[in-house]
Each structure stands twice: as C-alpha cells, then as structure tokens.
Amino acid sequence: MPIALFALAISAFGIGTTEFVIMGLLPEVAADLHVSIPSAGLLISGYALGVVVGAPLLTLLAARLPRKTMLVGLMVLFIVGNLISALAGDYGLLLTGRIVAALSHGAFFGVGSVVAAALVAPDKRASAIAMMFTGLTVANVLGVPLGTALGQAFGWRSTFWAVTLLGVIGLVGVALLVPPQPAEHNAGVRAELAVLRRPQVLLALLMTALGFAGVFAAFTYIAPMMTEVAGFSAGAVTWLLVLFGVGLVVGNLIGGKGADRRVMPSVYASLGALALVLAAFVVTAHGQVPAAITIALLGAAGFATVPPLQMRVMDKAEGAPALASAANIAAFNLGNAGGAWLGGLAIEHGLGYTAPNWIGALLVLAGLAVALISGALDRRKQPVLVRS
C-alpha cells in the first residue's frame, strides 16, 4: 500500500477520536461549563448534524478543486474546529467548535475514499479505502480511551489540544505524501448532482443507512445492556468497548479484502452476518462471556460492511464519485441517529434493554433486502449470451 494511505489514516484517526471521545468526557464538560448532562449530550448530536450537512455541502462547493487541495483545506477546517473547542470558555463556543470540526468529517472521508482508490490498482481499491478507515477504527481502540484518560486527568480541554496536534500531523502528512490528482478527474457540480438521481446510487445509500442503523440501535445502549442484563460492573464497560473497537479493526480489513474480490457478494455476506450477530445478541446478552464475544463480533460484522458499501456507491457513481461518496458518509451518520432513536423508543416503551438488538437485526435485514434488489437490477441489465 502507498505511504500516502498512512497520511489519510492518521487524519482519519484524529477525526475518529474527536467524534467519539466526547462521550467519555460528558460529566467533566457538563460540570465545568455548568450545563446538564443531556445538554452536554447535544455536543454529540451537533457533531452528527455537522457531518450530515457538511459532507454534501463542502464536497459540492469544492467540486472543481483538485482533490489534494480539498483534503488539505478540510484538515485545516478540522484543526480550526478543534482549536475553537480547546479554547472554548462557554458551552455555545464549544458546540460551535464541534460543528466546525464536523463539517470536515464527511467530506474528508468521502473525497479521501476516492483519492485512496485512485492510489492503487483497480483490484486493491477496497483495501485502500479500508486502510484509510483503519484510522477511524483504531481511534476507537486507542484514541478514545487515551483521550478520555487525558481529559479526566488534565481537564477536557487537554483532549482537544491533543486532537488539534493530531490534525496538524495529518495535515502535514497529506500535504507531503498524497500525490496530486489531475483536476480533470473532478467532474464539477452538475455532474456530481446528476449521479444522485441514479436509482442504484440511491439504493446503495439506503443500504448504508439501514445497515448502520442496525449497528447503532444496539451499540448506543451497550452500557445499560451490559450492566443491567449481563451483570457487568460499570468499570468493565470500558474494556467491552475496547473489544468492540478491536472487532471494528478486524472487520474493516476483512471487508476490504472481500470487496476487492467481489463487491456485492461482500455486501450480502457482511449484512447477513451482521443480522445474525444482532439476533444472537438478544440471547447472548444474558451471559457475560457470550455477551463479550458477541460485542467483538458486532464490531467486526458492523465494520466489515463499510468498504463494500463505500465501493458500491463509488462504482455506481462512476464519472462523478466524490459527492456520492461523501453522501454515503452522511448516510452512515443518519443511520447512527435513526438506529439510536428507534432503540431508545423500544426501551422507553418497556420492551427491555435487549430490544434494540432485535430491532437492529430487522433494520439490517431490510438493508439486505435492498441490496438483493439492487443486485437483481444489476443482473437484469447484463446481456444474455445465447449459444448457437
């Protein structure tokens, strides 16, 4: 793999850390800024909204720029957002910094996927994308726990200073190591918008949203599920999250290898495995050892879907892939929000802490059904060879 991919992965590590580390620092932020925990929780929602809005908007605004220039500009925006967060003296300014940083998130992963795929041979494109996303998965294993520990020991602002430094390292790496790609590879605003009208692109985005809605329906409520149902102590949840993060790394790499061979079979296999894991979690959540194993499998199956789903969108957006690729990152985040909402709704209605697991399984099965329809449309368009 080209060394430029490591620059993209380092940037992804910083972005992943700043997205998720706030979850472990909510009590410190709430106490320091004199807001409630639910109000502090809006720092997570605000970031997700920034990703959804920023992904297509910034990709369109910079559609005619060389992609390396776009990546450099996005990393500068990311640094500015985290710098604002580190310096924030009140809640409003911290929320502003979170949103500014989030605006770069979706566009970076969307454009970065296109750049990563262009750096390697056609049969290695999914693995190149997976290499970039490895930075995001490793952030869950290392960046988030270390950032949380740093913030708890030296104040939450120290975490944002550290993430700002990571952003600078990523920026330097992208500027020095990512080769320029010819500007004519960028199709322009009209062509980028046109691909979003293609039925197969829309179906691919729907697969992504439904698949990750299933993951986050369960994962959002993993802490109460493990303490109230499986019987773990609150302190053990941190290690369970590390298991989940290890699963993310492994699944991401497996998904990349599979998608390099055949994209749609990889989509079918990963979504099918994810639905089975979520269905099994309804039962395994009642025992500590099986629950821990299932959490690792949930991470692996969940992120095994990412490279093939990202490749599917890019394949079907051929000729103008940047906006569709960024829109797919937005679809991941919409799925996260929707799944968390549905899982919470089930708990509020008294269905129990394991209900989000079977709801997640149903959402993923719906995504698999969409994938099968999309695959059937592919086969209908293939010419039939008639033997004489």
pLDDT tens string 252-288? 889 988 888 888 999 999 999 999 999 999 999 999 9
Residue 135, Cβ density class (10 Å: 0-12 exposed, 13-18 middle, ≥19 buried): buried
Q: What value does the mean pLDDT of the chain take?
A: 86
Report residue 341 as tokens.
Answer: 């909402």
* Between 184 and 366, residue with greater pLDDT: 366
User: Would you say 133 and 306 are in contact if contact means Cβ atoms under 8 Å apart?
Assistant: yes
Domain of 160, CATH number, reads 1.20.1250.20
Domain boundary among 124, 151, 184: 184
Predicted pLDDT of residue 383: 53
Indicate whether 238 pLDDT > 80. Answer: no
368 and 238 inside one domain:
yes
Mean pLDDT value across residues 209-230? 87
Query: Among 82, 92, 77, 68, which Cα is nearest to 7's?
Result: 68
Residue 187 confidence class, pLDDT cut points 50, 70, 90: low
- What is the 8-class DSSP label of residue 231? -
Q: 210 and 143, same structural domain?
A: no
Dist. CA 220–CA 246, nearest whole Å: 17
Domain match, 238 and 345 both? yes
- Domain of residue 118 covers 1-184
Residue-wise pLDDT tens digits, 1-18: 688 899 999 999 999 899
Give yes or no for a contact between 177 and 299, defined as CB atoms under 8 angstroms apart: no
Confidence of residue 184 (pLDDT cuts 50, 70, 90): very low
pLDDT average, residue stretch 115-120 = 86
Burial class (CB in 10 A: 0-12, 13-18, 19+), 7: buried
Which of 184, 200, 230 is a domain's end point? 184
Clarify whether residues 290 and 301 are in a common domain: yes
Give the Cα separation of 61 and 104 in Å (integer).
Answer: 12
CA atoms in the 13 A half-sphere facing the CB of 381: 7
234 and 180 both lie in a single domain: no
| Top-confidence range, 53-62, 177-186, 209-218, 363-372 | 363-372
Q: Is there a single domain that holds both residue 203 and residue 57?
A: no
Which is higher by pLDDT, 183 or 368? 368
Claim to verify: residue 231 and residue 97 sit in the same structural domain: no
The pLDDT > 90 percentage for the chain reads: 39
Which pLDDT does position 386 carry in this prediction? 44
Same domain, 243 and 284: yes
Q: Pick the residue with more confidence: 319 or 148?
A: 148
Total structural domains in the chain? 2
H-helix segments, the chain? 4-20, 22-33, 37-61, 67-87, 91-118, 125-138, 144-154, 156-177, 189-195, 199-219, 222-224, 236-261, 263-284, 288-304, 306-316, 321-348, 355-381
246/101 same-domain check: no
| Three-state secondary-structure class, residue 351 | coil
What is the model's pLDDT at position 385? Answer: 45
- Residues 302, 351 share a domain: yes
Q: State whether 366 and 224 are in the same domain.
A: yes
- Tell me the pTM: 0.79
pLDDT at position 186 is 54
Are 313 and 168 contained in the same domain? no
Which of these three, 184, 201, 217, is where a domain ends?
184
